[in-house]
Every structure is written in C-alpha cells, then in structure tokens.
Amino acid sequence: MIERIVNPRVVAVAALIASIFVGPVWYWRNASPLVARAVAVHRAAGAVEKQKQEAQRAHGWDFWTIQMENLASELKEEKARLNKRSEDMDRDKARLDAERQELDRVRTDIQAMRQEIDDRVIMIKADESKNLKTLAQTYTALTPAGAVAIIRELDDVTAVKILSLMKPDAVGSIFETMATTASPDGTLARRAAALSEKLRLIKATPSPSAATASN
C-alpha cells in the first residue's frame, strides 16, 4: 500500500493536482496587493499628470494675462502720446491762427497807411506836366496879389501842382501875400500853411521817355 502511494506517477499526478488548486490561491493571495499597488501607482500617476496639465493651463493663462496687460499698457501709453500730440497740434494751430490774424491786421494797417499816403501825396502826371508848367509861368508873371486872387478860387490839389512848378521866391511872395489877405475866417494864412504842407508831399510821375532812359 505504501509502495503504491509513493509511486512516482501517483506523486506526479498528486503534485499536478495540488499545483492546479494551490497556484490560483497563491496568485490571488500574493497578486492582489501587487494589483492594488499597481492601481494606486496608476492613479497617482494620473493625478500627477492631471495636476501637471492644470499647472500648465494655469501657467498658460497667466502668461496670456501678462501679455494682455502689457498690450493694454502699451495701448494706454500710445493713446496718451496721441492725446498729447493732438493737444500740441491744437496749441500750434491756435498760435498759427493768432499769428495769421496779427499778420492780417498788420497787412490791413499797412494798406491803410499806404492808402493814406496815396491820398496825401499829390502826383503830377506826365500828360498834365506841360500845361501845369505853362500855368506856373503865367502865375509867376502876375503880381503876388493877383496870383493869390486866382489861387484862392482853386482847389488845393491844383494850386499845389502849380506852386510846385514855380520858383521858391515867387511861391514865398504868394504865401506872404496870403498871410495878409483877408478871408471870412481872418486871413488866408491857414490855407497858405496847408498848401505849404502839401508841397512837401507832391511827386511828379516820370515821363515814359525818362523812365526808359533810367532803365
């Protein structure tokens, strides 16, 4: 009976049967902790990866926010520069407008002064010079009283033109006579003074031949 039990075939079959039943039991007893550990490691790795992704997303959002803030700051600075430039341009425009108005005023004043001078200056035109010289010779031939009698009937412009073509001593005699000649306001002295003042401003227009020669 003992020999049958220790028969190698029986032992081998028994060992095979034992391994079939004992193997799974040992596997589940020893593999379960390993499986649990592997699952834990996998979960931990997943959690780490998730945290890493969240950190990356958070870092990316922070980076974008900084870029946006920088861009907003640059835009504010550019807007401030544009506003300052606009203010400078407005000031320059106001200054130019003021200068233009001042120039217009000066131009108007100059034109008014020129017109006043033109009004005061008596011009002897070339085409009337000959006739005026003839009249001047005629008045010179008259007595001072006779010349005064005619001059008092003339307008100032015509009288000055004739007097300007007479010799100084003849004009002096005429003015002396006027100073003693009676008039509604006393004497003709005041008119003699006015004619004397206008004689300073008389100007002869050069003849075409003289103008050509001077050129």
**CB distance 202 to 122 below 8 Å:** yes
Give the domain ranges of the chain.
62-120, 122-214
Over range 168-191, report the average pLDDT. Answer: 89
d(CA 141, CA 166): 10
pLDDT, position 162? 92
pTM for this model (two decimals): 0.43
In this predicted structure, the answer to whether residue 69 has a pLDDT above a threshold of 50 is yes
pLDDT, position 173? 94
Over range 181-195, report the average pLDDT. Answer: 86
Q: What share of the chain in percent tops pLDDT 70? A: 66
pLDDT, position 138? 92
d(CA 135, CA 213): 27
DSSP 3-state of 153: coil
Over range 15-24, report the average pLDDT. Answer: 57
**CB distance 172 to 91 below 8 Å:** no
Residue 205's CB: how many other CB atoms inside 10 A?
14
Q: What are phi and psi of 106, to 5 degrees?
A: -65, -40
Which positions ≥6 away from 57 have C-beta within 8 Å? Answer: none
Q: What are phi and psi of 203, to 5 degrees?
A: -145, 135
